[in-house]
């Protein structure tokens, strides 16, 4: 692989060519820039590549930026732009003009028309950069969109439709997940993921790489259990009942702690399988109370727990800990406890950004993580030279025995610098630490500004003034990224910005980020870290004996390059461990990621197909084959199909009753039987849906399939998470946990696909109430006439245990199916039952004929007679449904003679016909399940089209977003 120096040298030659064209484009009129863009697009259509037009395109952008912003890109910025275009990470020091650098590759790649996403860490930077650079793009004839959390779907779709879209990393990921939960392809907001330029790439791709974006839905109410677990956690002794591992933020119950828990919750054994859920809640409550600190990991605002970004100190509204930990913290802080939800869709930043065709990024500090960028994202980290040499002085660390000694020295040094007039930036690792430092500064009578989670809205304003005479700014380490600290002439002469680090971080990169706030564009500056043996990093990775030795120093300190190197080496070791951990997790993530991509591709395919009968046909075959398998038994090592049992399980359900006999299937292979069954299923389904308009049935099919996809994919996600949490136990059986996870996950995935098919076919079949018999499909045959008396009917109903008043087609058909199952092993009784059903079915058909005949006569009623009838049923001048008529009829039939009942039933049939007519006029299609509950209401417009937003769907899950 080429070294950075070679790459920079080659890119430098291209940059020189771009600068050489300056005189050519100076003569362009403002209106000519749009023409140049059109020319570049035409050349791309004619077969030229982006690399072919790079020099000219960059030269045009350089001139446009100069005219609009008054900024002429330096040679090093052009080198950075070329690095970004080639899909790598450009490490550019603070103040080197990353915002301007990003203009060039964004313009060049937008010429293809496939979209460019410029990603920032917060909405302030997105808006600022889109407004500044948008003026340049406007001159060049490109459109710019700004995506944000508060936008509705149409506004988001419009933002993504532009040539270049500015967005935050979280919103980009959530939009991707939401797009893969829509029921119409046109409801998606994003175009394809073509090219992304990530600002502060190390923060997004490394620090937040494992952060899962989660869309959740449904609810699980365990509020009382959370409160009980929290009360228990507050009642135990920190010294005797628990052991705390600060390094991994874990809490363990001791023997006495376990005894107390069992007594508190009245349990015999806390570790019994049935107490798993309660144990999990107790462990979360212990973690919340003993390892998570208010104003460090989270804060409370307006009665709500809001997480704090551990790297920037910014609050993160909308984010939540997963697995019930967030609810445990809410219980601890005595605020409203949210109901737990299940994960419907999730993806980590790491997996999301790997979906792009081309990925690039820019940051001030990434070289130390180059191995991770290369192995995970396939991007190199290339260090850009600075425009002017760095003259900042990085002093060795001062190491103290205690925090108090450290902060006293920091205040002493700060007073000296303040008297000289030098601006100072103090970097802390947490909000708690910054507040501790603030108390020392207040006691010393020093005036200062604070940037932390509580006033992050003033961040940019405070950072801009941090380089002024006598200014003191206290900030969490990486706060203010994206805004340069500019010195005045006076402070430049005094030695520039002095950066003080209150303690070292886990990663060298974050320390370098803090140092990089000083010494931009050749400015003078100084940096120094103040370290105590009580700092978190030192407590975790230094020996207790060493810490005891340092206590002897009192308020004195040691300034040693050797000790500074030792801390740096510890950081390198920790970075390696963290990378190995992230890489190990990624190996597992890759399995779910591949399955997700396959599922989303199939989902899109279903959304794009006009006719879904082929999909349904494949699902029917899957169901048929599984049914054949389930009705097979192993006899002497050979799998034999129980044909009789198979037909009984399907008759009148997925295929029409009596449409197949045993002789039709005897002697056939499983695949052949499954194919015949599938064809009969399709016949049955087409007969059931023949009276429904094609666009309505198409919408119903699409929704039913998609909902089955989403339901079982959600279950698969949650099953995979549980599988992964316990798979490490396989190593005790000398098995490779990753290999076992791959095998089991693949098995679960294949099983999920079968369940999707079964769910889809069952739901579509149950969505239509009327039962289909083979006579509906085949040509009607001449029927024999049999004389049946009232006594025969009464005897059958008595034998079937059906009450006379409950005699109806649904009741009879339901009872018939039950008796078929009951007598499946008794051929004689089964044949008798089928004959009895034939008799009852004939009677019901005759009654239907009588009602229809009477209805025909009643339909000729005059308006006055119709009004009279409506008044009789108390429905006059009211909008009514069949359900309303049914309820009124049941009340009117009470205490009536048989003759009166017959008259009322005929009148009710007239009203049922009117209700049908009214429903057709409003063009509402109601879909019910087998129990008669409404599942969906599909409204059809006057022109026959369907508005997806007008569909009432009880199976559509309400969702919310969170960042785990």
More confident position, 77 or 838 = 77
Give residue 772's pLDDT: 41
More confident position, 238 or 953 = 238
Q: Kindly state the average pLDDT of the residues 296-316.
A: 80
Inform me whether the pLDDT recorded for 676 exceeds 90: yes
Give residue 811's pLDDT: 84
Q: Which domains does the chain have, with CATH numbers?
A: 1-213+350-383 (3.40.50.300), 222-338 (3.90.1440.10), 393-559 (3.40.50.300), 612-770 (1.10.3060.10), 790-919 (no CATH)
Distance CA 352, CA 359 (A): 11
Which distant-in-sequence residues (6+ apart) come within 8 Å of 270 by Cβ? 258, 261, 262, 278, 279, 282
**How many residues belong to the chain?**
964
More confident position, 639 or 138 = 138
Which distant-in-sequence residues (6+ apart) come within 8 Å of 368 by Cβ? 507, 508, 509, 512, 575
Distance CA 423, CA 492 (A): 10
Q: Kindly state the average pLDDT of the residues 251-275.
A: 89
pLDDT, tens digit, 9 for 90 and up, residues 12-29:
999 999 999 999 999 999
Asked whether residue 98 is marked as a ligand-binding residue, the answer is: yes
How high does pLDDT run on average in the chain?
85
Asked whether residue 77 is marked as a ligand-binding residue, the answer is: yes
pLDDT band at 203 (very low <50, low <70, confident <90, very high): confident
For the chain, helix (H) and strand (E) counts, in that order, are: 38, 28
Asked whether residue 96 is marked as a ligand-binding residue, the answer is: yes
pLDDT band at 781 (very low <50, low <70, confident <90, very high): very low
Distance CA 518, CA 264 (A): 56
Q: Kindly state the average pLDDT of the residues 485-510.
A: 90
pLDDT band at 773 (very low <50, low <70, confident <90, very high): very low
Inform me whether the pLDDT recorded for 530 exceeds 50: yes
Distance CA 319, CA 294 (A): 16
Tokens representing 872 are 């009789």
Asked whether residue 113 is marked as a ligand-binding residue, the answer is: no
Q: Kindly state the average pLDDT of the residues 205-225.
A: 79
Give residue 777's pLDDT: 47
Inform me whether the pLDDT recorded for 958 exceeds 90: no
Give residue 769's pLDDT: 38
| 8 Å CB contact between 27 and 86 | no
pLDDT, tens digit, 9 for 90 and up, residues 359-379:
999 998 888 888 889 988 999
More confident position, 276 or 381 = 381
Give residue 820's pLDDT: 86
Q: Kindly state the average pLDDT of the residues 748-761.
A: 95
pLDDT, tens digit, 9 for 90 and up, residues 409-433:
999 999 999 999 999 999 988 777 8
More confident position, 896 or 636 = 896
pLDDT, tens digit, 9 for 90 and up, residues 88-132:
999 998 778 888 999 999 999 999 999 999 999 888 889 989 999
Continuous segment of H or E residues that includes residue 850: helix 827-858
Give residue 771's pLDDT: 37
pLDDT, tens digit, 9 for 90 and up, residues 707-734:
999 999 988 988 887 787 777 777 777 8
pTM over 0.85: no
Q: Kindly state the average pLDDT of the residues 751-775.
A: 76
| 8 Å CB contact between 59 and 22 | yes
Provide the sign of the torsion angle of the four alpha carbons 22, 26, 28, 29, taken in this order: positive
Inform me whether the pLDDT recorded for 223 exceeds 90: no
Residue 633 sits at φ, ψ, to 5 deg, of -135, 150
Give residue 770's pLDDT: 38
Inform me whether the pLDDT recorded for 889 exceeds 90: no
Q: Buried b vs exposed e over 355-374: b needs ≥16 C-beta within 10 Å?
A: bbebbbbbbbbbbbbbebbe
Distance CA 57, CA 18 (A): 9
Give residue 451's pLDDT: 80
Q: How wide is the angle at C-alpha 711 spanned by C-alphas 708 and 715, nearest 5°?
A: 135
pLDDT, tens digit, 9 for 90 and up, residues 839-853:
888 878 877 776 666
Inform me whether the pLDDT recorded for 11 exceeds 90: yes
Q: How wide is the angle at C-alpha 743 spanned by C-alphas 740 and 744, nearest 5°?
A: 85
Distance CA 7, CA 299 (A): 46
Give residue 776's pLDDT: 46
Inform me whether the pLDDT recorded for 216 exceeds 90: no
pLDDT, tens digit, 9 for 90 and up, residues 601-648:
999 999 999 899 999 999 999 999 999 999 888 777 777 888 988 888
Continuous segment of H or E residues that includes residue 340: strand 340-348
Max avg pLDDT among 51-55, 368-372, 816-820: 51-55
pLDDT, tens digit, 9 for 90 and up, residues 909-953:
778 777 766 655 545 666 766 666 677 777 766 656 676 766 767
């Amino acid at each position: 692989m080429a070294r950075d120096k070679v790459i920079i040298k080659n890119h430098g030659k291209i940059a020189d060519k771009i600068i050489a064209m300056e005189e050519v484009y100076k003569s362009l009129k403002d209106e000519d820039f749009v023409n140049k863009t059109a020319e570049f697009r035409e050349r791309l259509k004619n077969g030229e590549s982006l690399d072919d037009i790079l020099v000219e395109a960059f030269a045009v952008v350089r001139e446009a930026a100069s005219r609009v912003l008054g900024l002429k890109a330096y040679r090093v910025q052009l080198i950075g732009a070329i690095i970004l275009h080639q899909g790598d990470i450009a490490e550019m020091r603070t103040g080197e003009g990353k915002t301007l650098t990003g203009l060039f590759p964004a313009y060049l790649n937008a010429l293809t028309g496939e979209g460019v996403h410029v990603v920032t860490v917060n909405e302030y930077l997105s808006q600022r950069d889109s407004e500044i650079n948008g003026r340049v793009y406007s001159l060049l004839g490109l459109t710019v969109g700004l995506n944000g959390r508060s936008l509705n779907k149409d506004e988001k779709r419009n933002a993504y439709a532009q040539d270049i879209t500015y967005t935050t990393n979280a919103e980009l990921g959530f939009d991707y997940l939401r797009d893969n939960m829509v029921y119409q392809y046109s409801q998606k907001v994003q175009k394809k993921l073509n090219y992304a330029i990530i600002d502060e790439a190390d923060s997004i791709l490394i620090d937040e790489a494992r952060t899962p974006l989660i869309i959740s839905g449904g609810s699980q109410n365990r509020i009382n259990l959370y409160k009980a677990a929290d009360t228990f956690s507050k009642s135990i002794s920190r010294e005797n009942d628990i052991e705390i591992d600060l390094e991994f933020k874990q809490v363990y119950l001791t023997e006495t702690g376990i005894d107390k828990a069992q007594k508190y919750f009245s349990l015999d054994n806390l570790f019994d399988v049935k107490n798993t859920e309660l144990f999990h809640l107790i462990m979360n409550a212990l973690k919340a109370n003993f390892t998570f600190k208010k104003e460090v990991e989270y804060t409370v605002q307006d009665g709500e727990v809001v997480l704090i970004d551990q790297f920037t100190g910014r609050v993160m509204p909308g984010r939540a800990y997963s697995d019930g930990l967030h609810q445990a913290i809410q219980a601890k802080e005595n605020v409203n406890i949210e109901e737990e939800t299940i994960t419907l869709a999730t993806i980590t930043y790491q997996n999301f950004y790997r979906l792009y065709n081309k990925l690039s990024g820019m940051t001030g500090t990434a070289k130390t993580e180059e191995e991770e960028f290369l192995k995970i994202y396939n991007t190199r980290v290339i260090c850009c030279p600075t425009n002017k040499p760095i003259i900042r002085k990085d002093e060795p660390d001062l190491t103290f025995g205690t925090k108090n000694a450290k902060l006293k020295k920091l205040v002493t040094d700060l007073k000296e610098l303040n008297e000289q007039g030098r601006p100072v930036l103090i970097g802390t690792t947490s909000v708690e630490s910054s507040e501790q430092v603030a108390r020392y500064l207040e006691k010393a009578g020093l005036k200062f500004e604070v940037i932390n989670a509580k006033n992050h809205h003033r961040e940019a304003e405070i950072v801009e003034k941090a380089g002024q005479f006598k200014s003191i700014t206290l900030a969490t380490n990486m706060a203010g990224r994206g805004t340069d600290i500019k010195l005045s002439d006076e402070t430049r002469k005094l030695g520039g910005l002095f950066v003080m680090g209150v303690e070292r971080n886990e990663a060298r990169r974050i320390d370098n980020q803090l140092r990089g706030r000083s010494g931009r564009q050749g400015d003078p500056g100084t940096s120094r870290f103040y370290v105590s043996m009580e700092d978190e990093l030192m407590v975790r990775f230094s020996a207790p004996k060493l810490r005891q030795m340092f206590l002897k120093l009192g308020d004195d300190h040691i300034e040693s390059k050797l000790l500074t190197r030792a801390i740096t080496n510890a950081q390198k070791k920790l970075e390696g461990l963290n990378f190995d951990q992230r890489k190990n997790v990624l190996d597992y993530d890759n399995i779910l990621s591949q399955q997700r991509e396959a599922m989303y591709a199939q989902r899109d395919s279903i959304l794009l197909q006009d006719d879904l009968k082929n999909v349904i046909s494949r699902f029917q075959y899957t169901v048929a084959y599984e049914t054949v398998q389930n009705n097979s038994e192993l006899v002497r090592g050979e799998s034999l199909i129980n044909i009789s049992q198979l037909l009984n399980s399907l008759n009148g359900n997925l295929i029409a009753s009596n449409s197949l006999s045993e002789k039709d299937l005897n002697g056939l292979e499983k695949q052949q039987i499954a194919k015949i069954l599938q064809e009969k299923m399709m016949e049955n389904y087409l007969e059931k849906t023949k009276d429904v308009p094609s666009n309505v049935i198409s919408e119903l099919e699409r929704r039913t399939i998609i909902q089955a996809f989403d339901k079982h994919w959600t279950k698969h996600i949650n099953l995979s998470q549980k599988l992964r949490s316990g798979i490490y136990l396989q190593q005790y059986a000398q098995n490779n946990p990753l290999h076992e996870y791959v095998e089991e996950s693949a098995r679960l995935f294949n099983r999920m696909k079968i369940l999707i098919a079964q769910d889809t076919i069952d739901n579509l079949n149950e969505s239509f109430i009327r039962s289909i018999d083979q006579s509906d499909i085949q040509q009607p045959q001449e029927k024999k006439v049999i004389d049946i008396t009232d006594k025969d009917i009464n005897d059958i109903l008595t034998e079937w245990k059906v009450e006379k008043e409950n005699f109806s087609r649904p009741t009879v058909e339901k009872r018939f199916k039950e008796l078929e199952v009951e007598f499946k092993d008794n051929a004689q009784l089964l044949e008798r039952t089928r004959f009895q059903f034939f008799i009852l079915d004939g009677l019901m058909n005759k009654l239907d004929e009588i009602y229809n005949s009477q209805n025909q006569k009643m339909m000729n009623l005059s308006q006055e007679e119709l009004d009279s009838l409506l008044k009789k049923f108390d429905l006059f001048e009211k909008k009514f449904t069949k359900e309303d008529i049914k309820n009124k009829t049941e009340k009117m039939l009470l205490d009536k003679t048989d003759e009166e009942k017959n008259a009322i039933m005929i009148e009710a049939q007239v009203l049922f016909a009117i209700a049908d007519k009214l429903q057709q006029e409003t063009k509402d299609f109601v879909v019910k399940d087998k129990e008669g509950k409404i599942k969906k209401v599909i409204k059809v417009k006057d022109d026959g089209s369907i508005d997806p937003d007008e569909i009432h769907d009880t199976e559509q899950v309400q969702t919310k977003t969170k960042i785990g």
